[in-house]
Amino acid sequence: MKTVRNSLLNIFLIIVSVSIGFGQEPPDTNYDENKVPEYQLPDPLVCIDGRAVVDAEMWRVVRRPEILSVFETQVYGSIPSFQTHLRFELTGSTPNALDGLATRKEIRIRLFEEEDAPWIDLLLFVPNKRKGPAPVFLGLNYGNQGVHDSPTIAASRNAHGKRGEHAHRWPLELLLKRGYAIASFHGGDIELDRHGSGCRFTTDGWLKGVRYRILKQSRIIERTDDQWGSISIWAWGLSRALDYLQTDPMIDGKRVAVFGHSRTGKTALWAGARDERFALVISNNSGQGGAALARRRYGESVAASYSGSGIWYCRNYNHYGYNESALPVDAHLLIASIAPRPVYVASAEQDRWSDPRGEFLAAKHADPVYRLLGKTGLGIEGLPDVNNPVGDSIGYHIRSGEHEITPYDWKQYLDFADRHFGWK
């Protein structure tokens, strides 16, 4: 009987995967609050062995590391030890970009000694009218040429987007005039996500990137169930970009905000949790696998997310589809692991797939850790009104509109960064 059930489940997951590949939601997607199952969240201040976290030292030495360890082995995948050979090459510089508003740099971040190994092409805009090194927002893009329509920006390899295609998500003038630099690179530099026509996810993109190179170097041709998926390698890449930014005299390397939207929002949260050098973390509409509680099984579920894009996670995560209560962690612990550093979670009213209420609740239930560490976290009980930003060290808003990053979102992030960076 168990074999039959497993076979039926596998057939269903294949159907779901095909559906998501063509941009459709699986047929069992829940958008009814009355159908959210009862659940109990893991207490952020109770260790796996049952001990209560009584002070900041115990959080830092015991509880936080065990939370990160579970996310590594059960959700995003562990990163194996390997040698890098970082080198930074300036491949382009425009001192008076955007009508003199910024200096534009293009930096090739060599990751390994071999010239043909994967590398990162970082696109950086720094405000020319700045007082000292500039704080910076760092995030992934879908091709450097999509950030702005300038014909002189070198197109990212493995990216097929049009010039300026995603410029609406990168309001360069707004950020630069507020005194912030902007840095980004194509996640496909180190691991492909999608390719070909339509919205079909590639399942072999990792064979062309950093992960496969490392396994091949170790003479291993198959990753284990707890090893890193795409989110972990992209997060690792964000840390390598941070390595560069901390060497650039035009950048304040201690005031680097990592941000992302949708799947790159999931990545930003994981990068910020893993690397404490990121001073501020922003998640825009990241949903399940990011800021939304998996246990709610609302909108994007674990089963749907893994079926359609299992390349993002480690294989162990598949065990928790329709079995979320067995998952030893949830999104509130991911947010809590960033404490005491500020983190901003943003939702959109019509983006039900990303579960706005689940994102808010995750932020809310991270509060106890921030309080333990002497910070005010979110500080409210109920979901705020639309277009009414709230919070302190944990910021949150739900805006009108759909799954997107908008000028309204960016205004909140800039105000949040101003406050926490002491920039204004």
222 within 8 A of 211, measured Cβ to Cβ: no
Give the three-state DSSP class for 3.
helix
Q: Which of 17, 184, 262, 354 is labelled catalytic?
A: 262
Cα dihedral 63, 64, 65, 67, rounded to 10, equals 90
DSSP category for residue 78:
B
Q: Which residues of 227-260 are buried (b: 16+ CB within 10 A; e: fewer)?
A: bbbbbbbbbbbbbbbbbbbeebebbbbebbbbbb
Is 262 annotated as catalytic?
yes
What is the number of other CB atoms lying within 10 angstroms of the CB of residue 323? 11
CA–CA dist 208, 213 (Å, integer) = 8
331 within 8 A of 338, measured Cβ to Cβ: no
Q: Which of 190, 203, 204 is nearest to 232 (CA)?
A: 190
Q: Is the peptide bond before 340 cis (omega within 30 degrees of 0)?
A: yes
Give the three-state DSSP class for 382.
coil
Is 403 annotated as catalytic?
yes
336 within 8 A of 386, measured Cβ to Cβ: no
347 contact partners, CB below 8 Å, separation of at least 6: 285, 354, 356, 359, 360, 396, 397, 398, 399
Strand 390-391 to strand 394-399: parallel, antiparallel, or no bridges (unpaired)?
antiparallel
Active site residues: 262, 403
